[in-house]
Every structure is written in C-alpha cells, then in structure tokens.
A and B are shown apart, each in its own frame.
Chain A
C-alpha cells in the first residue's frame, strides 16, 4: 500500500503542469472558445505527437505508451486546472475505454493505433437521461442482412461535430444495448454543432438516418452491451472527477491570489477570518475530492487491464459514485465561492472565474449528477449488500 504518486508519476504531473500553464493559459482558452472547432488543432497535434497523451494508456501493442489509468488521471487533473479545450476527454476517456473494455479485437487493432497517435479523434454518443447517465431509450438498431441499420437522434454529444469516429449506443429489436464503431463521415449521419453554456467543451446533435453498419462494427458479443456501456461511463465519470478536482484546485488558487492582493479597510481581504474559514473549507473539500478521485483512478486501472486485481476492480461502481459525486459538488462549490470572493470582478467576462463556473455546471451534470450517484450508492449499501 502506497497511496502517493511515484517519482515517475510526479514527473508526468510536473511536465504536464508546465506545458499547460503556457499552452493553455487564459488567452489560449478564450481563443479556443471563440474558434469554430472549439480547440486549437495545432496544439492538439503537439499534444499527440510530442507528448503522446492520447495514447498514454493504450497498450503498446496498439501503438500506445502502455501506461495506466492513474497516469491518465494525473493528466486530467492538470487539464482541469487549465481548462484545456481539446478532444482528449471524448476521445481518450470515452471512446478509447469503450474499445479497450469491449471484446472486439479487430476493432481495437483497426482504430487504436490512430487514436493513440491522435491523428484521429473519437467520441461516444449516447442518449443521456435527466440525471446524466444513459437513458433507457437509445437510437434503434435493426437487422439489415448480416449487419445493422441505425436510426435515431443523440441530443448533445461531446465533441460530436469534430470527432472522426463515433462509438454509438443503440438498442436492437430485442431491447439489448449495442455499441457500434462508426466513422463519422459515413452516409446517413448528420451532425450539427450546438452553442453551449460552457464554451470550453463542445456538443453536437447527431442524427443517424438509416446508417448501415456491419456486424463486425459491434464492440462486444451478444448480451454484453449494457454492462459494457455502464462500465465505460463509470470509467469516464472517474476521469471527469479527476479533471473536476484539478479545476476546483485552480479556482481556489485563483481566488487566493486575488484576495491576497485586494485591499479594503486598509488590509488584504485574505486577512479576514470570515474569508479564511471559507477558503479552509474549500481546501478540505478539494483534498477529499482528490483522495476520492485518485482512489477511484486506482480502481479504474485495475478494471481496465486484463490481469487487474479483481477485488479492487469490483469496487468500481462504489468508487465511481463516491468520486464523481464529491468532485462535482466540490468543483461547483469552489467555482461559486471563487466568483463571490472575487467580488465585482468575479462577475466580469474579463476575469476567469466564470469560465470555471460554467465548466463546473456542465461537468456536474455530465456522467451522472451527484444525487444520481448517491442514489446508486444507496442501492449498493441498502439493497445489494447482505
């Protein structure tokens, strides 16, 4: 048992922090927000080709770096700190785990090398329920000769307009969930970018209109789609929790810097106990979110590899619920406090707190709201355990 970053992991953390501080500063984030695509394509190439982040946890046999989910979590924490606008989350935290956790080896061999290289990006399309998980109703998959025909609409797919590959969640005639890998340029797919409250992460409406796919494009064997999607969403929720933790930390750091300078009544406002105590509470919440998200990342690592510790992997649902609910509430609370403690300038477009506040709201809703995760946890405690 050693629940601390190793020297190698600390190096990854430091280099990511250094790189993003320069490459994703406030001006860069705002430029990406204003761009049609929502991210800087040149920066993405640099991230892919020089830093190899998209392939970090993809096994070497598929052209990846072969590190684990904990290393990915470290990157995510830093990306959250700097509100990096990039296809990383959709591609490396949703689509890539779907391919890795599915059991279609041919699909892995076909898609993972390009995903690892970052020359291609992907996303996962699923219909969200009100509480941010997947809805019972998904687009239809109907038998079409040896393959399938897909029809239906996804309301708000992450990076849906820019992704090259779509992993789509559908239901077949028997009601079973099926995930297919579909190139985004395939006939019958219509995509429409949507304006979003949080401009640092893009969404798109995607319509499938008679999209013909081969049976080989299904990620999994018969009957295992439901469990696969659930597991993918859990892993992604843990990834998001790590990102939220980093972002929450940054809102506190920004706030501390500001209130340490701002003077009223002849003293810095940081010297008022009313403010100190609020900051102390934020730090405690962030440390708890960090502990919970790193623990969950360790669990996810075991769940993602074939020879993972079964006992730890079995904690996935619990660890995910704990991490996502806490990180969501912590980030939201920190972002709210950041605006409040910045005072008037916190309400301006010019200062950054609103960027975090909007990301916090979007992330809290995405991949399961806090109360949804707690209800899931309550079911585990009250109904599943003996």
Chain B
C-alpha cells in the first residue's frame, strides 16, 4: 500500500503542468475555469478549438490502447493529468463523451472499419459526441426505451425522443439506444447506433433549467437516418453494450472532478475568512466536514484506481456516485450559508448567477442524473451487499 507518486510520475506531472501553462494562453486564456458543470453552454467554439490544441499536444486518449491510437498511459499518469488539468483551470471538456464513452465502446465492440472511421476524429478533437440514452419514459428505468429503429435499404431510420442530452446542439454524432425488435420489452430487442447529428430529421430543443441556463436538451428523431453499418454489435445487443459502456468510466476522471470541487471549496473558504463566517462555530464544523469529505472522495478514488484492474466494480466504486453527489449538494448549501444575505443578490439581469449561486442550484441535478441516489442505493444494496432485488 503506497500513496505517494514515484519520481517518473512526478516528472510527468511537471510536463503536464508546463504544457498547460504554456498553452492556456492567448485565445485560450479566457477559458480558464470555464465550461464546467453549470457553465457548459459557454464558449463552445473556443472550447472546440482548445480540444484541437490538446490533440496537437497529444493529450487526448491518454488511457486508450496504442492500437487504437492512444498513449496507453498508466492509471497513475492519467490521474496526474486530470489533477493538473483541473488545477490549471483547464476548461470543461467538449470531447469527454467521445473520449470517455463513445471511443472506448467503439474500441471494444466496433468493427475495424468503425474504429478507422470514428476513433481518429475523437483523438484529433475534430468530432464531438453526445449520448442518447434517457427518454421521457425511460429515466431510472432505461429498459423502458421507446425510440425505434428500422432498417430500410442501406439506412437505419430512427424515430423517437431522447432527453437530458448535454451538448446535443454542439455535437457531430450521438450514440443512441433504440428498439429494433418491434413489440420487444425491457432490455431485449435494443440496439446501439451511431447517428450523425447534422441532419434535418433531428431537432434539438434546449431545456431551460432551474439555473435559467440550458446545458441539457431534448432531441427529437423523426425518420433520422444513419448508415446501415453504423450499428455497434449485432441488432439486439444494445443493452449489453450500453451496460459495458457504463463500466468504461473507471474513475480516472473523478480525480479531476475533485480538483474542480477543491476550487469551489477554496472559494468558499476564502469568502468565509473575509466575511466573518470563519468565526461561526457551526460553519467551522461544516467547512471542516466538507474538507474531510472531499479528501475522502480522493482517498476513495485512489482505492478505486488501485489493485487488480479486473474490470469488476468493487464496493467503493459502486458507492462513488452516491458519495460525490451527496457531498456536492451539501457544498452548494454550505456556499449559500457562508455567503449569508449576499447569497440572495444576483450578478445581473435577467438571471445572472455567480459561480456559487450556480453551484447551489446546479448541484440539485447531481443527485438525480446518471442514476439517482435512490437507484444508487438499490445498486449498492443489491450488488454490493447481496440484498434481495426490487421486483422488475
């Protein structure tokens, strides 16, 4: 059991920090600390340019295998990259769905032709992806997907509606779960498609959130087309692939997410010192609790990333979503309580939120998206603790 990084890793850290320092300059200077959760709608074009800059530096696909064009770096080095990226204020990634989800899925289940077609676009920061899973009637119960796909000649035609699709209007491609066996129910008869977003038969409708901003969208497919060979796996294998995709997120990026959290907490601590909140014994307890909680998220991640990587999700990994979302939502409330009366005053008209006001409101989504806390508790109880399953 070893918690420090080796000298080689520390040298890599220097290299990453140096590159970021050199390149988050000029046109990219304005992107520092921007485009994160609650701010994802900002600077889309500039952030795409930044993705290309990253690609030129060789910083995309660090964990991908070399055969797929990645760098095959160790977990430690990927962790270091994410930490330094967040520390330097690297902007919210436009390419994270492609790099973290679409790419690994295509690499694992795609044909050679699909790999040749799609992986370079992701690695070069040219093509951006969004995720078409949730539907109005399929949230926690993903098997309730109603979107349909049928093969006509050399085209799949897709009809239905997806929801909560972030960056849909900025994306070139969407991976879509759709039903290919008419009359099938549950997780049978689903297939996994790669669908181009730039077509008239797809309509993107932004959702105005409680923050007043719109990162999430509804996406309407009305005979939307994709080529016959843009299906990953065989028809009917969609569920298997969708579930495997969720496992690709091995938690490497959680360390970077925690650096963003640390930035938020640092700002709260700064304000507490300045406005006298630091003298309030109750707030001191909560600030310390927040600090301890964030450190513990880090320790959890280090455990998650250590030991044999046999692909099985260990208990600490299964509980991670519940852990961070619960922590983050509390941080949002703490921010408001530290601000005191000032928390009520906006930055401007019509509804311009400060970063901490945005944090307070946006964190309400953390305990809902990506599997609500209630679903997470079911997963932990059933898979980690072996308790009886809910009727399905």
**A280 at the B interface (CB under 8 A):** yes
Complex CA gap A62/B71 in Å reads 49
**A193 at the B interface (CB under 8 A):** no
* Selected A-B contacts with CB under 8 Å, 13 pairs: A2-B307, A260-B387, A290-B316, A291-B302, A291-B316, A292-B292, A311-B4, A318-B295, A374-B285, A374-B289, A375-B285, A378-B278, A378-B287
Establish whether residues B377 and A277, one from each chain, have CB atoms under 8 Å apart when the complex forms: yes
Number of interface residues of B (CB under 8 A): 50
The B295-310 residues at the A interface (CB cut-off 8 A) are 295-296, 299-300, 302-303, 305-308
Given contacts A1-B9, A381-B291, 6 further A-B contacts (CB under 8 A): A1-B76, A277-B378, A287-B319, A290-B316, A294-B1, A375-B285
Complex CA gap A312/B302 in Å reads 15
A50 to chain B, nearest CB (A): 25
Complex CA gap A291/B294 in Å reads 12
Complex CA gap A309/B306 in Å reads 20
Complex CA gap A350/B313 in Å reads 37
When A277-B374, A280-B381, A288-B300 are in contact, do A374 and B3 touch as well, CB less than 8 Å?
A: no
Q: Which of A4-12, A78-86, A108-116, A125-133 lies at the interface? A: A4-12
**A271 at the B interface (CB under 8 A):** yes
Establish whether residues B288 and A3, one from each chain, have CB atoms under 8 Å apart when the complex forms: no
Establish whether residues B272 and A382, one from each chain, have CB atoms under 8 Å apart when the complex forms: yes
Interface residues of B (CB under 8 A from A): 1-6, 9, 76, 79, 269, 272-273, 278, 281, 284-285, 287-289, 291-293, 295-296, 299-300, 302-303, 305-308, 315-316, 319, 322-323, 374, 376-378, 380-382, 384-388, 390
For B302, the chain A residues whose CB sits under 8 A away are: 1, 3, 291, 295
Establish whether residues B269 and A256, one from each chain, have CB atoms under 8 Å apart when the complex forms: no
The A1-42 residues at the B interface (CB cut-off 8 A) are 1-6, 9
Complex CA gap A65/B289 in Å reads 37
Establish whether residues B2 and A271, one from each chain, have CB atoms under 8 Å apart when the complex forms: no
Establish whether residues B4 and A321, one from each chain, have CB atoms under 8 Å apart when the complex forms: no
**A45 at the B interface (CB under 8 A):** no
Establish whether residues B272 and A283, one from each chain, have CB atoms under 8 Å apart when the complex forms: no
**A150 at the B interface (CB under 8 A):** no
**A51 at the B interface (CB under 8 A):** no
Instruction: Mark each residue of chain A from 313 to 329: 1 if its CB lies under 8 Å from any CB of chain B, else 0.
Output: 00000100110011000
Closest to B265 in A: A381
Establish whether residues B1 and A381, one from each chain, have CB atoms under 8 Å apart when the complex forms: no
**A261 at the B interface (CB under 8 A):** no
Establish whether residues A1 and B292, one from each chain, have CB atoms under 8 Å apart when the complex forms: no
Interface residues of A (CB under 8 A from B): 1-6, 9, 70, 256, 260, 267-268, 270-271, 273, 276-277, 279-281, 283-284, 287-288, 290-292, 294-295, 298-299, 309, 311-312, 318, 321-322, 325-326, 371, 374-375, 377-378, 381-383
Complex CA gap A325/B286 in Å reads 13
Establish whether residues A287 and B291, one from each chain, have CB atoms under 8 Å apart when the complex forms: no
Establish whether residues B2 and A381, one from each chain, have CB atoms under 8 Å apart when the complex forms: no
When A268-B388, A291-B316 are in contact, do A280 and B291 touch as well, CB less than 8 Å?
A: no
**Of the candidates B285, B308, B386, B388, which one forms a contact with A378 in the assembled complex, judged by CB atoms under 8 Å apart?**
B285
Complex CA gap A186/B287 in Å reads 48
A272 to chain B, nearest CB (A): 9
For B300, the chain A residues whose CB sits under 8 A away are: 287-288, 291
Establish whether residues A3 and B269, one from each chain, have CB atoms under 8 Å apart when the complex forms: no
Establish whether residues B387 and A279, one from each chain, have CB atoms under 8 Å apart when the complex forms: yes
For A268, the chain B residues whose CB sits under 8 A away are: 388
Closest to B386 in A: A256
Establish whether residues A270 and B284, one from each chain, have CB atoms under 8 Å apart when the complex forms: no
Establish whether residues A284 and B76, one from each chain, have CB atoms under 8 Å apart when the complex forms: no
When A2-B307, A3-B303, A276-B387 are in contact, do A288 and B3 touch as well, CB less than 8 Å?
A: no
